[in-house]
Amino acid sequence: MKRHSRSYEGSDREHGQREGIATARSDAGVCRMSEAQSRAPSPWRRAVRRPFSWFDEGLDWFEQFVLVTGIAAMAIVSVINVISRNTIGSSLQFATDVTQLLLVIVTFMGIGIGARNARHIRVSAIHDLLPEPAQKVLLVIVGFGTSALLFLLADYGWDYAQSVQRSCRVLPESIGSTPLWLGVALTLVAMVLSGHLIRIVAAVGQRLVGDMTPARRNLAILAALAVAFVVGAFLFGLFIDLVENRSGRCRVTSSTGFPVYLIYMVVPLGFFLGAVQFFLAGLRNLVSRDNYLSWYHRDEYESEEQAAEQTSFGNVPEESGSSGASGRGGDHG
C-alpha cells in the first residue's frame, strides 16, 4: 500500500509539474502576443509609412544610380585621358571640366546616402561614455543640430549659385520663373519617379537574366548597356541643346562652355537631402524607444566584442577589471 501511495504521489507531482509548465508556456505566449500587439503600428502610422517608404525608396534608388554612374564616368574619363596623353601626346580637352563636374555631383549627392545608411563619420567618444538615456538625448540634439546646419548651408549654397547665375537662363522663362518651393518639390518628385523607374528596370532585368545561360547573360548585359548608353546620349543631347540655346550673361567653363551655376546648383540640393535625412534621424529618436543613427539603422555595434568594449558611467570593461585583478594578485604574491 505504501508503494502504491508513493507511486500515486509521484504521478501527481509529475502531473502538477506538467500543468505548471504548460501554464507558464501559455502565459509566455500570451505575453508575447500582447507585446506584439502593443508594438504593432497604429493605423495612422501605417497610412503615413506607405507613402513615406515609397518616396524614400525612390529617392534612394536615384541617389545610388547617380553615384554609381558618376564614379564610373569619372573612372572612364580619367583612364581615357591617361591613355590619350601617353599614346597620342595630348590630353582630352574636356577631361578636366567633366571630372570636376562629376566630382561635385558625387560628393554632394552622397550626403543623403551616407546619412540614410548611417555611414557618415562619427566621433563617438562622448557618446560611448554616456548612459543610454543620455545617448538618446545626444542623438536627438546631434540629429536636429546637423539638420539645421545643413539647411543653413543649403540656403547659402542656393544664394551663391544665384549670384553666379546672374542673368543666365537655360530653361524657358515660364519654367524658370516658378517659386522656389515649387521648383524644389518638382525636382524631388522627378528624382523619386526616376528612382522607381530605375528600380523597375533593374528588377525586370534581373528576372530575365536569371534564367539565361552565362553566354546569353553576357550578351544581354552588353545589349542593355548599349541601350542605356544610347538613351543616356539622347537625353544628354537634349540637355546640351538647352545649354547651347541659353540666354543672358552666363559664366561658363573654359573648355566645354557649360554654365557654372548649374554645377553649383548640385551643392544646395545635396545639402538639402542630407538635412532631411538627419532631421528624420532626430525624429526617429523622439518617437522610438531604441536609439537610432538614422531612420532605418539602430545605434548598435556590429559584434559582441565591440559592444563589450563600450564604456559608460558606472560600467567598467571586463578586460580592465580582470587585468586590475591580476595585477593586484601579482603584487600580493
The Cα 220–Cα 230 span in angstroms is 15
169 three-class SS: strand
Q: What is the pLDDT of residues 276-329, one digit of tens each?
A: 999 999 988 888 888 888 888 888 755 555 545 544 444 444 444 444 444 434
Cα–Cα distances (Å) from 217 to 51, 211, 222, 223, 231, in that order, read: 35, 9, 9, 10, 21
State which of 122-126, 213-217, 290-294, 316-320 shows the largest mean pLDDT: 290-294
Instruction: Assess if residue 229 is contained within a domain.
Output: no
The answer to whether residues 219 and 227 touch, using CB atoms and an 8 Å cutoff, is no
Q: What is the pLDDT of residues 223-257, one digit of tens each?
A: 888 888 888 888 878 877 877 777 777 888 877 77
Residue 161 has pLDDT above 60, yes or no: yes
The Cα 217–Cα 223 span in angstroms is 10
The Cα 112–Cα 63 span in angstroms is 8
What range does the domain containing 121 cover?
44-211+246-299
Instruction: Assess if residue 8 is contained within a domain.
Output: no
The answer to whether residues 116 and 296 touch, using CB atoms and an 8 Å cutoff, is yes
Task: Share the mean pLDDT of the chain.
Answer: 77
3-state percent helix, strand, coil for the chain, nearest multiple of 5: 75, 0, 20
Instruction: Assess if residue 117 is contained within a domain.
Output: yes
Query: Which pLDDT band holds residue 189 (cuts at 50, 70, 90)?
Result: very high
> Which amino acid appears at position 115 of this protein?
A
More confident of the two residues 257 and 146 = 146
The residues near 286 (Cβ < 8 Å, ≥ 6 apart) are: 140
CA angle 107, 104, 171 (to 5 degrees): 130
More confident of the two residues 82 and 26 = 82
Instruction: Assess if residue 269 is contained within a domain.
Output: yes
| Residue 312 confidence (pLDDT) | 41
Instruction: Assess if residue 235 is contained within a domain.
Output: no
Instruction: Assess if residue 184 is contained within a domain.
Output: yes
Question: How many distinct structural domains can be found in the chain?
Answer: 1
The Cα 329–Cα 92 span in angstroms is 71
